[in-house]
Amino acid sequence: MLLEKERKDVLLTPAGSVYSRMKKIGHIIRWLLQGASMVVAAALLCAYLSRWISPAATWYFAFFGLLFLPLLALNGCIMVCWLLAKRRIFWLHLLFVLPALFFLPAYIQLRSAGDPATPPQAGELKVLSYNVHLFRLNTRTRVVETLPVIAAFVRDEAPAIVCLQEVAVYDTNSVKRAFGDYPYVHFQSRKMFGDALFSTVTLSRYPIVNKDVILFPHSSNVCIFTDIAAGGQIVRVYNNHLESTQLDLALSFARLQQEEQRNKEIKKVSTRLRNAFIKRANQVDTVAAHIAQSPYPVLVCGDFNDLPMSYTYRRMKGDLHDAFIRAGNGVPSTFRCGIPAFRIDYIFCDAALNVSRFYIPQVVHSDHYPVVAVMGGLGAEH
């Protein structure tokens, strides 16, 4: 009893009172930190859910999917801090970080790089997909400035099948002449820039036996599919250009630094992202349903305008193989924005195919990099 009384007396002294207040403040800070920690963990959970929840139904999960890697890194750092502090909330972050092991292979592969110069072997098929950024169309001079250099690059790569997105020309014959090594062409155009044509194009060294287009409502974007007879088999090639946000990232970032334009730019960016998320969800649902009905093995290529942690990626991939996961290496970006792991261009293939190589040539003829895959099981030496 005496000791208890002495302890109370100490707490009633000025020094004891300060100690009591500091202890209460410590408790408040710890609860605030734990609350913030749980919010960050919940944000990572929303990123995971973005793969399964269609933005057409609930669009805001898609924003968290865009931030998957930063959220994962932040949760990892917080987890380590709680571990060092010997707090049980560490287990919460461990529980939320572990599922990332299933998704990280779409962002990073640690295998050694293959030699891009190795030519395809007999029975292998080389495929290239490239968003050519309108060939840097100059509407004043009516010149497609990068058409010759991109055609020369493709000629050096010598793929059997080429899928081009965001093609803009005044004359379709100019593309056919530039890519003269490819006698079989599937050209799907929409009007843009007055009399200039905005197109999606598939080129092949093998005969095209059938071709058609999947149109998207209220959009200039399309998916074309082309049945190609390669090595005694028919493969259906889907060439996609899904809805873009149509944002200039550099310009948006500059405006966000200006206080007077910040709120307006945040509203514009979020609105465009939301609208693009919703449109892409509807587009990919349409294409995925069409792929499921294909009577032939499929190759799915193109600019999806979405990262691997997205509804678009999961729906389009389905049971197909991602060529990067099968044979790629490193932490690739396919959009030249200076952001690591910004992969929005893909090559998927039927599970029966054996992808032996995948690489991303670092050429700067467009705002995208091309993606290249070599696979067996279809085609023959050409």
pLDDT at residue 352 in the model: 84
Any idea what the Cα angle at residue 377 is, between residues 369 and 125, rounded to 5°? 35
Where are the extended beta strands (E) located within the chain?
124-131, 137-138, 143-144, 161-169, 184-192, 196-204, 208-215, 222-230, 233-241, 298-303, 321-322, 345-349, 354-359, 371-376
Beta strands in 291-370 (DSSP E): 298-303, 321-322, 345-349, 354-359
Structure tokens that stand for 327 in this block: 């044979």
User: For position 256, what pLDDT does the model report?
Assistant: 60
Burial profile 261-285: b = 16 or more Cβ within 10 angstroms, e = fewer: eeeebeeebeeebbebbbbbbbbbb
Euclidean distance between CA atoms 228 and 208, whole angstroms = 5
Q: What is the pLDDT of residues 298-351, one digit of tens each?
A: 999 999 999 999 999 999 999 999 999 999 999 999 999 888 899 999 999 998
Q: Are 170 and 143 in contact (CB under 8 A)?
A: no
Task: Please state, rounded to an integer, the average pLDDT across all residues of the chain.
Answer: 88
> Strand 345-349 and strand 321-322: pairing?
antiparallel
Minimum mean pLDDT among 188-192, 265-269, 369-373: which range?
Answer: 265-269
* Span 177-208, pLDDT tens digits: 999 999 999 999 987 767 788 999 999 999 99
Residue with token string 């149509």 = 246
Q: 275 Cβ partners below 8 Å, 6+ apart? A: none
**Lowest mean pLDDT: which of 16-25, 31-40, 47-56, 101-110?**
16-25
Q: Which amino acid is at 182?
A: Y
Cβ neighbours of residue 26 closer than 8 Å, sequence gap 6 or more: none
In 3D space, the residue among 156, 178, 155, 157 whose CA is nearest the CA of residue 167 turns out to be: 178
Average pLDDT over residues 82-105: 92
In a 10 Å sphere around its CB, with 0-12 CB exposed, 13-18 middle and 19+ buried, how is residue 108 labelled?
middle
What pLDDT is recorded for position 257?
Answer: 65
Computed on alpha carbons and rounded to an integer, the radius of gyration of the chain in Å comes to: 26
Q: What is the pLDDT of residues 303-314, one digit of tens each?
A: 999 999 999 999
Q: Which residue has the tokens 């799907």?
A: 188
User: Any idea what DSSP says for residue 24?
Assistant: H
Q: Which residues contact 79 (CB under 8 A, 6 or more apart)?
A: 90, 93, 94, 97
Nearest Cα neighbor of 147 from 178, 112, 116 is 178
Give 254's pLDDT tier (boundaries 50, 70, 90).
Answer: low
Q: What is the pLDDT of residues 202-251, one digit of tens each?
A: 999 999 999 999 999 989 899 999 999 997 889 999 999 999 987 666 66
H helices of the chain, in order, are 2-12, 14-49, 61-66, 68-84, 90-97, 100-103, 147-157, 172-178, 249-256, 259-292, 311-317, 323-327
Share of the chain above pLDDT 90, in %: 66
Q: Smallest Cα–Cα separation from 292: which of 230, 225, 233, 231?
A: 225
CA distance 26 to 138: 63
Q: Is the pLDDT of residue 108 over 60?
A: yes
